[in-house]
Structure 1
Amino acid sequence: MKIDTRSVGKVLNAPEAWRFVLLHGDDSGLIREYASDLVRRVAGSLDDPFRVATLTRETHDRFEEEATALSLDGGQRVVWVREGTDTLAGPVSGVLDGTGSALIVVEAGPLPARGKLRKLAEERKDSASVGCYPEEGRALEASVRRMFAERQVGITAEALGWLVSQLGADRAGVRNEIEKLALYAGPDHELDLDDVRVCIGDSGSASIDDSVFLAMEGDRTGTDLALERALSEGANPVAVARVLLGHISRLRRVKAAVEQGVSRADAMRSLRPPVFFKKQQSFERALQLWSLPALAELASRTQAFELSCKQTGAMDVLLCRRHLSVIAARAAAASRRR
């Protein structure tokens, strides 16, 4: 059965209803989070040697043995398979057609829509296929707010908007930032914008932000330094693409409003979250250098860059360096012409 991300609760909250759960997609952090949740709900922990069998790519050949083994303590067993591929489709199908009772949880990366493993999970009523892709916009805001609520921590709307704009795409990275902020706040405290900036202002996401702003205003040296700092802190090129697309979108919104007669100051004040005061001059310089058609074309090129980074074997770091370098060079050339 194919499960929409909005309906994933029916899988996570009722693991006893399924024999096989396939978690696949681009967000490895979200895949691991869902898998861990399922395993913990069934077995009570992630490392019970009697009820949890964890298989990596090197031990996939033990799948049928583990999936048909009996539980020594009477509880349901879980076979947790990582790095799943279509080669597992046959063994999984054979086990599902048998009399075993173990829950099979398979983590996989991006799988083709017509792939054997996805087809198996989507066609059987006792199986679930859950696509795990990076959240953005309102979906990410809702997830972040829920994570804070689980820790009895509040957050203002302004702080939430700014935080979401800084977070990367991977769920593991998002959860790490939430854990850090929740620890800083403590239970029953509401985080405001200053709190959030104090906690993550020196993180890799802030370095991404710096590299994007500097590229759009034509500072080639500053762009290179900020990007290398972000990459050394663990940032990934897809996260850079997401931040860049968000910045371009905000520039286009202000640019369009100004061309319709709204003052630049009023147009910038209308942005939510607002432009960080330390970035306002950089934002204004970019507004002067990029026309609306140029921003639209750059958005299209950045989407293509993000897609290229997701291709198997892509030299994503090299692509990222080149993309920001070209943007900075274009902005610098536009500045010289002014």
Structure 2
Amino acid sequence: MTANRADAFSRSPDPVCQAVLVYGPDEGLVQERCLNLLKSVVEDPRDPFRVVDLENDQLKKDPALLSDEAAALSMMGGRKVIRVKSAGDLLANLFKDYFQNPVGDALIVVEGGDLPGRSRLRKVFEDSKQGAALPCYKDDEKSLPGLIRQIIEKEGLFIENDALAFLVGNLGTDRRLTRREVEKLCLYKGINSGKISLQDVVVCVGDTASLTLDDLAAAVAAGKTDELEKQLLRAQQEHQNPITILRAVSRYFQRLHLVSGLTAQSVPLDKALGTLRPPLFWKAADAFKLQVRKWSPLALTKALSQLMETEAACKKTGAPSETLCARTLLELTAKSPARAR
């Protein structure tokens, strides 16, 4: 299911659908779509008579609890919502059995994590006519502009292109954080007050921008160990997982590699920088240019290879991903050609 279809479905699910699995690496988007589904049935998400919360462990111990809750009528009347949290593959058989003999008219909203393509739980929901699976992937450079414009235009505002480029480059990939920061920007600007400029964005989102993963990556490329440790701690406090952090650093190094490769072919540096999408933010331009001059294409290739190897190691069962991520970033920072000697 595409992102646009998933958004529309979460706001107005198919009446035939009795259970929806919402899963993916973007926890903020998972929460947003689960809430949309809940509100499609119940006005107040905290209504204790019509909203029932069940945990993964509860259902493992007592599988019949799902059907019992689905069949039970609300004391105050109205359709119920059953919200299942932290669902994993161990519940696959339970939902397979439920779909063979569904009861009641409750909407079951199942909150999953980053389930892989081979997930049995995903397959059960994807194969059932009474079920649906909504993937929630991280926003990227393609999807972020549309999301930002949607939030801003809903408030009767318009954003200039350079301001939009700054937001795309600095807001990160978590839907919840993105929505919060853009809504804060709209509140700062005021309703129906015209265009949002780059200056507006820098003033309002500047503090947040200092916490982005791009700044963390820039610290690695610049060889600034103290800055890396500060940014890594902040990223962890924002609940960014190690793979997300590694990919952000990889994207930054890919941009360095692109420009470095072009300059090695005698393309002027400013012209090479002009090929970057999204465009390089002017405040970061001087530091980025210095890094391009210091890092050779070969050194950047080796760094990217190390980042990819670390990401693969993080995906292994039982691997200490936080430790692996931090160690690799510290090693790259220490070996940075741009490091002050």
- Shorter-chain TM-score category? 0.7 to 0.9
Could you tell me the TM-score, scaled by structure 2's length?
Answer: 0.85
302-311 or 282-291: which moved more?
A: 302-311
Structure 2 CA distance for partners of 1:245 and 1:197, relative to 1, 3 Å: farther
Secondary structure of 2:326's aligned partner: helix
Structure 2 CA distance for partners of 1:146 and 1:333, relative to 1, 3 Å: closer
Structure 2 CA distance for partners of 1:14 and 1:230, relative to 1, 3 Å: closer
- Percent identity reads 35
Residue number in structure 1 paired with 2:70: 67
2:294 is the counterpart of 1:289: yes
Distance 1:306 1:99 in 2: 43
Contact 2:170–2:209 at 8 Å: present in 1 too? Answer: no
Segments of structure 1 that go 5 or more residues without pairing to the other structure are none
One-letter identity of the residue aligned with 1:25: G
Q: 1:188 aligns with which of 178, 185, 192?
A: 192
Distance 1:134 1:66 in 2: 33
1:95-134 to structure 2, matched below 5 A, reads: 95-96=98-99, 97-134=101-138
The alpha carbon displacement at 1:237 in A equals 3.6
312-321 or 193-202: which moved more?
A: 312-321
Distance 1:270 1:241 in 2: 23
One-letter identity of the residue aligned with 1:11: F
Contact 1:11–1:128 at 8 Å: present in 2 too? Answer: no
C-alpha RMSD over aligned residues? 2.8
Residue number in structure 2 paired with 1:26: 25
Distance 2:326 2:270 in 1: 32
Segments of structure 2 that go 5 or more residues without pairing to the other structure are none
One-letter identity of the residue aligned with 1:275: L
2:152 is the counterpart of 1:154: no
One-letter identity of the residue aligned with 1:4: T
Secondary structure of 2:41's aligned partner: helix
Q: List per-residue Cα deviations over 1:42-77 (Å, max 9, x = no partner).
A: 112211222211223454344332111123454321
Contact 1:214–1:328 at 8 Å: present in 2 too? Answer: yes
2:79 is the counterpart of 1:76: yes
Q: 1:88 aligns with which of 91, 116, 130?
A: 91
Structure 2 CA distance for partners of 1:91 and 1:298, relative to 1, 3 Å: same
268-277 or 322-331: which moved more?
A: 268-277
Contact 1:205–1:230 at 8 Å: present in 2 too? Answer: no
1:175-214 to structure 2, matched below 5 A, reads: 175-189=179-193, 190-203=195-208, 205-206=210-211, 208-214=213-219
Could you tell me the TM-score, scaled by structure 1's length?
Answer: 0.86
The alpha carbon displacement at 1:248 in A equals 1.7
Structure 2 CA distance for partners of 1:286 and 1:23, relative to 1, 3 Å: same
Contact 1:53–1:78 at 8 Å: present in 2 too? Answer: yes
Q: 1:317 aligns with which of 298, 301, 322?
A: 322
Aligned residues: 334
Q: 1:219 aligns with which of 217, 224, 229?
A: 224
Distance 1:133 1:109 in 2: 11
